[in-house]
Amino acid sequence: MGAVIVSRLIKLMIRRNLVMKGNRVLVLGLAFKENFPDLRNTQVVDIPRELADYGISADVYDPWVDPRAAKEDYGITPIEDPQPGRYDAIVLAVAHRQFGEMGIERLWALGRPGAIFFDVKHLFPAAVVDGRL
């Protein structure tokens, strides 16, 4: 699934002339399912790996997961607090309630001007995001 998500994201980024080495993407969520810390069988780990194949780095933010478990199990160190205006694209991969509570405006603010917002889980209406599965 990660390959499909990243393929669609890259196509959106190409349309906006955003694809280049050194791009940064924020992946929101790592857990297997929303509002639960379980990492077993999560397919989200494929997204940062696929992005790396394009020379794009990814930060992963998930308020539910134990960072030590993520590092041990998948080699991913989640960030503690995403900084506004830093990302060329944002991928909402897990529909944690915190992301809904943050609201689309606050999540959009994490991106640079012209950033892509890809909502894998349909947490927000299609009219306010750039892409969805």
**CB-based contacts of 54: which residues, under 8 Å, 6+ apart?**
6, 10, 19
Least Cα distance to 29 among 3, 57, 62, 5 occurs for 62
Contact 94, 29 (CB under 8 A): yes
Residue 128 has pLDDT above 80, yes or no: yes
Measure the N-to-C terminal CA separation of the chain; round to a whole number of Å.
10
As a whole number of angstroms, the distance between CA 89 and CA 13 comes to: 8
Share of the chain above pLDDT 70, in %: 100
Structural domain count, the chain: 1
Domain hosting 40: range is: 2-132
Per-residue confidence (pLDDT) for residue 69, from 0 to 100:
96
Beta strands in the chain (DSSP E): 24-28, 57-61, 87-92, 111-119, 131-132
Q: What is the pLDDT of residue 22?
A: 84
Residues in CB range of 55: below 8 A, 6 or more apart: 21, 22, 23
CATH number at residue 125: 3.40.50.720
Asked if residues 116 and 88 have their Cβ atoms less than 8 Å apart, the reply is yes
pTM given for the model: 0.96
